[in-house]
């Protein structure tokens, strides 16, 4: 098969096997259709955003030399806090999220993002792979409850993610998913991220919800307490007030590090985001402090496009080729994020993504969506067949004849490869046959 190279390919799609493409394509198409319908984010629709700086500590014990997380480095950052499903009332019980954009410290590239990190409350996620995530979305409550009977850690992950929040700034956020760090000495390690309040008296169970059933109800439908009289978007009001206060909003960025296992089975276990790493064996290391001292304008906040696939040599995304691999969740969701963000902000959709959606089982109406231009072709010179057909054919196949005294064709032998007339006659006779 010959690939169409008139448009830029997405290597995230090209390296997937067919089952992975089908599962992710259907998932992306469903989210794309929902995005076009609501003209907004599917998850984490409302929240609060601010700007500030990340200052890496001058001395980080037991942390190898790293180009980005290097002692004394200072980076501009953007943070966006949000609710997972609750889009109209901050008082609903819900997982809370935070996205961190670390911008370049180069003044000439001040708007260039180095890393986009997505974190949430709770130390684990409820799906190990993108295939598990897609199945969880489409199966009913009864099937989910039956599943967690055999996987109680999934139940724990669901409940542990819920938070009754009084302030976005008083919660602990975890990446769940890990990245591949490459250090200055050439060593590679798996790393997870955590963002905690600067105030150490605020422990990680802040806002935690006690289980009241097998699984939490759909969080977007959990009503607020009848005695709660706070405004609907009180978390955003609180965040804005704190940012504008003399102490601003302060966090500590922490990393959890472990060596890359030497077998596929152990690597799969290490990448399993449904099971937290043992903190005694792999303790969190505080690497820097984030101070948010400026509120991001609402329009600018709405247009933010956090890209989990944004990576560099020093902090890389771990790739997957199968939807059953643990790395498929991070690898796959990055493509869904990108497609939905383009649709939400009415940005031209690359042809590779459009084709990806077209091959899914879910039909998405993209007729009103702009599309990126295909690679421009240089048509300044008019192309003509200046030679006869047999001369062009000779030029194409000439490299195969050089150095041989005869050219073999089915039933035909041409002596003396230099004889164009004999070759053309033989070809004509073969074509007639």
**Tens digits of residue pLDDT in 244-266:** 999 999 999 999 999 999 999 99
* 348 falls within a domain: no
* 27 falls within a domain: no
pLDDT of residue 377: 43
pLDDT of residue 270: 96
* 76 falls within a domain: yes
How many structural domains does the chain have? 2
Q: Grade residue 212 by pLDDT with cuts at 50, 70 and 90.
A: confident
What is the distance between the alpha carbons of residues 379 and 373, in angstroms, rounded to a whole number?
Answer: 16
CA-closest candidate to residue 102, choices 55, 41, 43: 55
87 has pLDDT over 80 = no
Q: Grade residue 124 by pLDDT with cuts at 50, 70 and 90.
A: very high
Q: Taking a C-beta distance cutoff of 8 angstroms, is the pair 182, 260 a contact?
A: no
Q: Grade residue 402 by pLDDT with cuts at 50, 70 and 90.
A: very low
Q: Decide which of 293, 316, 339 is a domain's last residue.
A: 316
Q: What range defines the domain where residue 425 resides?
A: 389-432
SS (H, E, C) 417-431: CCCHHHHHHHHHHHH
**Mean pLDDT in the chain?**
81
Average pLDDT value for residue range 118-122 = 94
* Residues 294 and 394 grouped into a single domain: no
Neighbours of 152 (CB within 10 A): 10
410 has pLDDT over 80 = no
Average pLDDT value for residue range 229-250 = 93
The conformation of residue 91, written as its DSSP 8-state character, comes to: T
The conformation of residue 6, written as its DSSP 8-state character, comes to: S
366 has pLDDT over 50 = yes
* 5 falls within a domain: no
pLDDT of residue 295: 93
Listing DSSP states for 370-395 in one string gives -BPPPPPP--SSPP---S-HHHHHHH
Angle at 397 between CA 395 and CA 402, to 5 degrees: 95
pLDDT tens for 132-185 read: 988 888 888 899 999 999 999 999 999 999 999 899 999 999 999 999 999 999
Q: How far is CA 93 from CA 152, 176, 212, 216, in A?
A: 21, 20, 13, 9
* Residues 309 and 394 grouped into a single domain: no
What is the distance between the alpha carbons of residues 330 and 308, in angstroms, rounded to a whole number?
Answer: 7
Angle at 154 between CA 167 and CA 221, to 5 degrees: 50
Listing DSSP states for 214-268 in one string gives SSPPPGGGPPPPTT--S-TTHHHHHHHHHHTSTT-EEEEEEEEEEEPPSSHHHHH
What is the distance between the alpha carbons of residues 177 and 273, in angstroms, rounded to a whole number?
Answer: 6
Least confident window among 195-209, 267-281, 389-403: 389-403
Average pLDDT value for residue range 54-62 = 91
Q: Encoding tokens for residue 197? A: 């309040």
Neighbours of 155 (CB within 10 A): 20
111 has pLDDT over 80 = no
* 325 falls within a domain: no
What is the distance between the alpha carbons of residues 414 and 422, in angstroms, rounded to a whole number?
Answer: 7
* Residues 106 and 211 grouped into a single domain: yes
401 has pLDDT over 90 = no
**What are phi and psi for residue 103, nearest 5 degrees?**
-95, 160
Q: Decide which of 266, 295, 316 is a domain's last residue.
A: 316
Q: Decide which of 316, 331, 349 is a domain's last residue.
A: 316
* Residues 118 and 265 grouped into a single domain: yes
* Residues 215 and 301 grouped into a single domain: yes
* 330 falls within a domain: no
Most trustworthy range by pLDDT among 151-160, 334-343, 403-412? 151-160
Q: Grade residue 279 by pLDDT with cuts at 50, 70 and 90.
A: very high
SS (H, E, C) 156-216: HHHHHHEECCCCHHHCCEECCCCEEEECCCCCEEEEEEEEEECCCCCCCCCCECCCCCCCC
Has this prediction a pTM greater than 0.75?
yes
Q: Grade residue 274 by pLDDT with cuts at 50, 70 and 90.
A: very high
* 18 falls within a domain: no
What is the distance between the alpha carbons of residues 91 and 240, in angstroms, rounded to a whole number?
Answer: 17
65 has pLDDT over 50 = yes
Q: Grade residue 221 by pLDDT with cuts at 50, 70 and 90.
A: low
> For residue 54, what is the domain's CATH number?
2.40.180.10
Q: Taking a C-beta distance cutoff of 8 angstroms, is the pair 171, 123 a contact?
A: no
* 323 falls within a domain: no
pLDDT of residue 347: 81
* Residues 98 and 199 grouped into a single domain: yes
pLDDT of residue 296: 87
Which one has a higher pLDDT value, 174 or 23? 174
Instruction: Return the percentage of the chain with pLDDT > 70, whole number.
Output: 78
The conformation of residue 70, written as its DSSP 8-state character, comes to: -
Average pLDDT value for residue range 285-302 = 88
Listing DSSP states for 258-308 in one string gives EEPPSSHHHHHHHH-TTSPPPTTTS-EEEEEEEEEEEEPPHHHHHT----T
Which one has a higher pLDDT value, 377 or 343? 343
What lies within 8 Å, CB to CB, of 274 at 6+ separation is: 124, 125, 126, 127, 128, 151, 153, 154, 157
Residues 94, 221, 337, 155: is their CA dihedral positive or negative?
positive
Burial profile 330-357: b = 16 or more Cβ within 10 angstroms, e = fewer: bbbbbbbbbbbbbbbeeeebbbbbbebb
pLDDT of residue 8: 59
pLDDT of residue 359: 83
């Amino acid at each position: 098969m010959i690939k169409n190279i008139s448009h830029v390919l997405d290597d995230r799609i090209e390296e997937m096997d067919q089952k992975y493409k089908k599962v992710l394509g259907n998932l992306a198409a469903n989210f794309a259709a929902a995005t076009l319908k609501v003209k907004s984010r599917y998850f984490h629709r409302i929240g609060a955003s601010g700007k500030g700086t990340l200052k890496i500590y001058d001395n980080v014990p037991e942390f190898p030399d790293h180009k980005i997380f290097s002692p004394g480095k200072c980076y501009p950052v953007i943070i966006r806090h949000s609710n997972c499903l609750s889009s109209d009332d901050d008082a609903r019980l819900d997982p809370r999220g935070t996205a961190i954009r670390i911008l370049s410290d180069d003044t000439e590239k001040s708007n260039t993002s180095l890393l986009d990190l997505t974190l949430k409350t709770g130390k684990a996620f409820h799906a190990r792979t993108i295939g598990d995530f897609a199945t969880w979305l489409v199966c009913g409550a009864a099937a989910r409850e039956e599943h967690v009977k055999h996987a109680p850690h999934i139940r724990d992950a669901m409940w542990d993610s819920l938070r009754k929040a009084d302030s976005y700034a008083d919660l602990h956020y975890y990446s769940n998913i890990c990245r591949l760090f490459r250090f200055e000495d050439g060593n590679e390690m798996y790393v997870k991220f955590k963002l905690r309040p600067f105030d150490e008296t605020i422990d990680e169970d802040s806002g935690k919800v006690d289980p009241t059933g097998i699984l939490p109800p759909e969080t977007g439908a959990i009503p607020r307490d009848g005695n709660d009289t706070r405004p609907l978007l009180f978390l955003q009001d609180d965040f804005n007030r704190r940012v504008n206060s003399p102490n601003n909003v302060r966090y500590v960025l922490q990393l959890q590090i472990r060596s890359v296992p030497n077998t596929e089975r152990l690597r799969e276990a290490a990448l399993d985001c449904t099971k937290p790493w043992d903190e005694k064996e792999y303790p969190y290391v505080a690497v820097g402090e984030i101070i948010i001292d400026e509120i991001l304008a609402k329009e600018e906040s709405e247009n933010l496009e956090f890209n989990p696939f944004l990576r560099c040599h020093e902090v890389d995304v771990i790739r997957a080729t199968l939807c059953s691999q643990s790395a498929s969740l991070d690898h796959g969701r990055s493509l869904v994020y990108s497609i939905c963000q383009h649709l939400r902000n009415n940005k031209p959709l690359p042809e590779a993504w459009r084709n990806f959606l077209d091959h899914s089982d879910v039909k998405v109406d993209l007729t009103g969506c702009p599309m990126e231009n295909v690679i421009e072709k240089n048509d300044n010179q008019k192309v003509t067949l200046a030679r006869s057909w047999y001369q062009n054919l000779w030029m194409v196949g000439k490299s195969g004849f050089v150095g041989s005294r005869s050219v073999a064709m089915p039933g035909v032998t041409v002596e003396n490869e230099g004889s164009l007339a004999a070759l053309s006659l033989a070809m004509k006779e073969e074509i007639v046959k």
